[in-house]
Chains A and B, each alone.
Chain A
Amino acid sequence: NAGVTQTPKFRVLKTGQSMTLLCAQDMNHEYMYWYRQDPGMGLRLIHYSVGEGTTAKGEVPDGYNVSRLKKQNFLLGLESAAPSQTSVYFCASSIEPGQKDYEQYFGPGTRLTVT
């Protein structure tokens, strides 16, 4: 049981390049999330998904796209990277909120630098 995994762990991009971050979970969770972490700002929600084939915007969605083609995978895409997207990205998954066992399980993070 690997939990939540993220690929890659590190990446350096030039401005304007594109890339996709992959998140995978093996806990059969319906809900999945993408966050970015910046110093002094905690984690901010980019996009989330409440099930296969669904996605929704979070707090800071601009410049990102997501897809949830399979229940276990949640992809985060940057179509044209900007230096402001330099950050650490975390994926998380959970059961449906409201249940007593609810919590979000986090992956180890992807450190992205855009030059």
Chain B
Amino acid sequence: AQSVTQPDIHITVSEGASLELRCNYSYGATPYLFWYVQSPGQGLQLLLKYFSGDTLVQGIKGFEAEFKRSQSSFNLRKPSVHWSDAAEYFCAVVPTDSWGKLQFGAGTQVVVTP
């Protein structure tokens, strides 16, 4: 079955430490890939996206993600987290045979400690 999986429901990281959030997908063809962030009580903001080309994608707020076709993964990274990065992060895909139907993972809650 087609799916988007974020294996980590909750991650705690110290301020200044690095962060990596995992995302795996299961689709026949490589879908369009997105990472969104949701701060408490807010809507979703796009961090970055991958359609094709360079497999390392740079986004806003110092985030980057790497597409690995062999692993069907699109992991999000940040070298040094700030307290303001505490939020929920969603990986999402648009299957290329299902235009417009953005499918979300369950989300990863990130807590940043001093």
Number of chain A interface residues as a range: 20 to 34
Label chain A's interface by main secondary structure: loop
> Please, what's the 1-or-0 string for B34-69, where 1 marks a CB less than 8 Å from any CB in chain A?
101000001111100101000000000000000000
Does A74 reach chain B (CB closer than 8 Å)? Answer: no
Q: Smallest CB-CB separation from B100: which chain A residue?
A: A97
Question: With the chains together, A106 CA to B90 CA distance in Å?
Answer: 13
Whether A103 pairs with B46 at a CB distance below 8 angstroms is yes
Whether B90 pairs with A42 at a CB distance below 8 angstroms is yes
Q: Smallest CB-CB separation from B45: which chain A residue?
A: A106
Label chain B's interface by main secondary structure: strand
> Please, what's the 1-or-0 string for A93-115, where 1 marks a CB less than 8 Å from any CB in chain B?
01011101011101111000000
Whether A90 pairs with B44 at a CB distance below 8 angstroms is yes
Q: In the complex, identify which listed stretch (A13-21, A43-51, A61-69) lies at the interface while the others stay far away.
A: A43-51
CB distance from B89 to the nearest CB of A (A): 11
Complex partner residue of A106 from B9, B43, B107, CB under 8 angstroms: B43
**By the criterion of a CB under 8 Å from any partner CB, how many residues of chain B are at the interface?**
24
Whether A40 pairs with B9 at a CB distance below 8 angstroms is yes
Question: With the chains together, A96 CA to B102 CA distance in Å?
Answer: 13
Does B27 reach chain A (CB closer than 8 Å)? Answer: no
> Quick one: given A97-B94, A106-B43, A106-B44, are A41 and B106 in contact (CB under 8 Å)?
yes
Whether B106 pairs with A40 at a CB distance below 8 angstroms is yes
> Please, what's the 1-or-0 string for B66-85, where 1 marks a CB less than 8 Å from any CB in chain A?
00000000000000000000
Question: With the chains together, A90 CA to B107 CA distance in Å?
Answer: 16
Offer 13 A-B interface pairs, CB within 8 angstroms, sorted by A.
Answer: A31-B100, A33-B102, A40-B106, A42-B90, A42-B92, A42-B105, A43-B102, A45-B103, A58-B101, A96-B99, A97-B32, A103-B34, A108-B43
Pairs of residues from A and B, 6 with the lowest C-beta to C-beta distance, nearest first: A42-B104, A97-B99, A106-B43, A106-B44, A43-B104, A108-B43
